Amino acid sequence: MHTTTAPEQLEQLYLTIRTHLPHLTKPQAYTLALYSFGIAATSPCGLTTLATCLALLLHQPFNTVRQRLREYYKDAPHKKGTHRRDLDPATCFAPLMRWMTRLWSDTRLILALDATTLGHRFTALTVRVLYRGRALPVAWKILPATQQGSWRPHWEALLRALQGSIPAHWTVLVCADRGLYAPWLFEWITALGWHPFLRIHAQGQYPLENDPTVRELATVAPCAGTHWCGRVVCFKANPLPCTLLACWDTGHKEAWLIVTDLPPDEVCAEWYAKRAWIESGFSDLKRRGWQWHRTPRQDGARAARVWLALAIATLWVMSVGGSVDEARLGVRGKVSCFRLGRLALWAQWLSGDAGAWGVLSDWERSSRAPPRRGKSVGGVRCV
């Protein structure tokens, strides 16, 4: 029986990257594979740790491997040699999203927009695919944490980069917390053929679609245990015809107020709870996973290139973790999909397997999933 060696496993990852990111040059694809493989193998994404691990696996000098990894994230003018090229992560966002859709076993998914900080160094604006309690990065912009100005141009660029990357017949929800809500964001999402599912602040007023009586948003769900859903025109300054969902579950401090373009009989407020998965995604990126919070990088462009390697490593381990039969193994609810994927990948390597990719499958775990195009799920209870 043939068992694969570390160089063979790396070669297979390189070929996979060449298949899904065909616009990259061969050196770019190989070094990206090297970086992603090292992250998946070691967990910490620090340069010294990666270079040491890869040097041992590939039987190459430490300094040779380290220099190759450094060349990956540097700008072209700072690389050694001639005819060097920049790797622009933004050119990989749509191919990365298409890669995920090929692994996805359904035609429904949820994207989440959010921002995370790294001390006083960076603010990362991210678009992530929500999956099994975690969040897979698919597009991002790394900004200086102290940079002034609107984030709107950056969010527009991220959404524009993903345009056309998800099949048109899929149902796509886009979640964002109330700090990111803006009328232009709602319009951008609908223009892409996706469905906004945006939380808003309770300040403001609304009339029902067929009733001019003006009501306060704060009174839609006035106490714990109340829910409401209907067509309204939100806000006085920038009127927004939409479906408004109000949900104040027992045990929560306040109500969720969510606006969407979907009809009232096709929405469910509990979908918004999945947005919290993005926090676990940040934990995977930082202290509980890849340890990105320890990076010494000071330049946002270089950090964004490292994020591409982190995104591929995350996709790899999550696809493997999602394919493990948790019930048979007896670990359902005990180990996160991210951690399970890392352990399963290491088990494959130790047994000489190639570290095969899995299938991303999630909605069968939810009692209520977004409807497929043209279908209704019965909606939120209105009271």
Amino acid sitting at position 116 = T
Record the pTM: 0.89
Per the prediction, the chain carries an average pLDDT of 86
Which residue ranges form the domains of the chain, and what is each CATH number?
A: 5-88+302-351 (no CATH), 92-278 (3.90.350.10)
Which whole number is the average pLDDT over 121-136? 94
Task: Give the model confidence (pLDDT) of 222-267 as tens digits.
Answer: 888 889 999 999 988 889 999 999 999 888 888 899 999 999 999 9
d(Cα 245, Cα 50) in Å, to the nearest integer?
A: 47
Contact yes or no for 30/376 (Cβ under 8 A): no
Q: How far, in Å, are 18, 41, 258, 272, 350 from residue 228 at the CA level?
A: 49, 48, 11, 15, 53
At 78, the pLDDT band (50, 70, 90 cuts) reads low
d(Cα 300, Cα 304) in Å, to the nearest integer?
A: 6
